[in-house]
Amino acid sequence: MNKRIRIKDIAKVAGVSKGTVDRVLHNRGNVSTKARDKVIAAMEKLEYEPNVIASALASKKSWQIAVLIPGHEGDPFWEQPLEGIHRAVKTLRDYGVQIDYYPFRDADPEHFRSLGQRILRTPYDALLVAPSFARESHELLDHCDAKGLKYVEINTLLERETSCFLAYIGQDSYASGVLAAKLLNFEMSPGATAIILHLEKEVYNARHLLDKQAGFEDFFNKQAEKHIHVVQESYGDIQDLTGTECFIREMLAKYPATQGIFVSTSKLFRVVPAIKKYQQKPVSLIGFDLIEQNLAYLASGDISFLINQNPYKQGFLGMMNLFNHLVLKRDIQRLQFLPLDVVMRENVRYYVEEEYEKMHIVI
C-alpha cells in the first residue's frame, strides 16, 4: 500500500510543476525562494527518496575513469585488483561507467609519472590509483587537487586532507606487520631471530612497506618475554636468480638463530627455494597474498601463513566507491581498511574458491 513517493507527487503537494521540483533537487538554479521553500517542505513531509533505477535510465551522462595501477607482468598480485575492477565496470555498464587502463611498470617511477601526465591531459571524471611511489604519487595527486580531479587510492595509503581525495581501500599496513609478528611468534622459541625482508627497490619510497616494518618491530619490542631479535634486510633484484640465491645464503649465514622470516610483499615464493636450500634448522615463513606460487608452498608446508590483502576487493570496491560517489552521489567513507585474513593450509580453500563473490555486484 505505502506507494513510493514520486517527483510528480511532490509537485502536486507543493503546487508547482515537476520541472521546478527537479531544479530544486539538482540545485540547477532559476527557482524563486518561495517555490524552493514549498518544494523542500513537501519533500520533507512526504519523505521523498529518489528512484535510483528511473534516475539511471533517464540520465545519459557517461563517466570516464582512469585506472593507474601496476601491470601484472612484474607481479601477479595485480591481476586480481584488475579483475575486480573489470567485474565492477561490467555491471555498471548500464550506468555509463567506462574506464581506461594505464598499467605502469613495477619499480619504474618514471613510467608512473609519464602515464600520470597523460591522464592529466585527458578530461576524466575520476581516477583510481595505486600510489606505489610516494614522491611521484604526491606530485600527481597535487595536480589532481589543483585540477579538481577526484581520486580513490587502493593498496597504498597516502593520507591527504584535500577534498579530491575520496577514499582509500586496502589493508592497514602497520596492523598487518603486527599480525605477521604475532603469527610468527607462535612458532619461534625464546632468543631466536626474526627477519623482515623487503624484496623491493627503493624501500624508503614505499610507504606501505615502512609501515609494515614498523608494526612488525613494535610487536616484538613490546612483547618482551621471548626476547626475539628483529632484523631488517632488503634486496631489490629478484629477477637475477643467482644473485637472489647468493643474497639469501649470506643473509642466513649472517643470522644463524633465524627461526622466522617475514616477506613484506607477495614475492615470498621467489626466495623459498633458496631458503630451503641453505637453512638447516626449521624456519617459519610468512608473506602476503594468495598467488599461485605462494599457495603451492603453503600446500607443501614450506610457508606457514599467508596474509590475504583481498586484492580482488580492492579493485572491486575501489570502482564501486567511485560509482557511489559520482553516480549515486552517496557519501563514502574515506578510510576503508579491508580485513587481514590469516590463511593457512586448513582454511586456504575458502579464500581461493571465492568465485561466489565475483558473481555479485555492489552498488
Partner DNA sequence: ATTTGGTCTGTGCCCGTACACAGAGTAAAG
Partner DNA sequence: CTTTACTCTGTGTACGGGCACAGACCAAAT
Residues that bind DNA (CB under 7 A): 4, 6-8, 15-20, 22-23, 25-26, 29-32, 34-36, 50-51, 54-55, 57-61
Q: Which DSSP letter does residue 74 get?
A: T
- All 3 cell numbers of residue 42? 513537501
Planar angle of CA 337, 297, 287, nearest 5 degrees: 30
Least separation in angstroms between residue 26's CB and DNA is: 6
- Distances in whole angstroms, Cα of residue 359 to Cα of each of 56, 201, 315, 355: 22, 37, 15, 7
> Is the dihedral angle over the CA atoms 96, 111, 290, 317 positive or is it negative?
negative
Select from its own copies, DNA, none the partner in contact with residue 22, using the beta carbon and a kind-dependent cut-off of 5 to 8 Å.
DNA
Q: Which is nearer to its own copies, 85 or 274 (CB)?
A: 85
Q: Which is nearer to its own copies, 107 or 340 (CB)?
A: 340
Least separation in angstroms between residue 108's CB and its own copies is: 32
Q: Which helix (H) or strand (E) holds 87?
A: helix 79-92
Select from its own copies, DNA, none the partner in contact with residue 25, using the beta carbon and a kind-dependent cut-off of 5 to 8 Å.
DNA
CA of residue 34 relative to chain centroid, distance = 47
Least separation in angstroms between residue 100's CB and its own copies is: 15
Least separation in angstroms between residue 290's CB and its own copies is: 11
Q: Which is nearer to its own copies, 132 or 304 (CB)?
A: 304
Select from its own copies, DNA, none the partner in contact with residue 351, using the beta carbon and a kind-dependent cut-off of 5 to 8 Å.
its own copies
Rounded to whole angstroms, the Cα distance separating 43 from 47 reads: 6
Phi, psi of 165, deg, nearest 5: -75, 105
Q: Which is nearer to its own copies, 118 or 330 (CB)?
A: 330
CA torsion angle 141 165 125 357 (round to 10): 120
With contact defined as beta carbons under 8 Å apart, do 128 and 151 qualify? Answer: yes
User: In the complex, which residues of this chain contact its own copies (CB under 8 A)?
Assistant: 4, 51-54, 56-57, 91, 93-95, 169, 172, 175, 178-179, 182, 186, 219, 317, 320, 324, 330, 332-333, 336-342, 344, 346-347, 349-351, 353-356, 359-363
Least separation in angstroms between residue 322's CB and its own copies is: 12
Phi, psi of 4, deg, nearest 5: -70, 130
Strands 97-104, 258-263: parallel, antiparallel or unpaired by DSSP?
Answer: unpaired
Tell me the residue type at 157: L
Select from its own copies, DNA, none the partner in contact with residue 163, using the beta carbon and a kind-dependent cut-off of 5 to 8 Å.
none
Least separation in angstroms between residue 100's CB and DNA is: 22
Select from its own copies, DNA, none the partner in contact with residue 360, using the beta carbon and a kind-dependent cut-off of 5 to 8 Å.
its own copies
Q: Which is nearer to DNA, 11 or 169 (CB)?
A: 11
Least separation in angstroms between residue 48's CB and DNA is: 7
Q: Which is nearer to DNA, 18 or 86 (CB)?
A: 18
Rounded to whole angstroms, the Cα distance separating 144 from 126 reads: 9
Least separation in angstroms between residue 213's CB and its own copies is: 16
- Report which of 23, 28, 118, 101 is spatially closest to residue 64, judged by C-alpha positions: 101
Radius of gyration of the chain (CA): 25
Rounded to whole angstroms, the Cα distance separating 130 from 343 reads: 24
Q: Which is nearer to its own copies, 157 or 320 (CB)?
A: 320
Q: Which is nearer to its own copies, 120 or 342 (CB)?
A: 342
Select from its own copies, DNA, none the partner in contact with residue 325, using the beta carbon and a kind-dependent cut-off of 5 to 8 Å.
none
SS3 46: helix
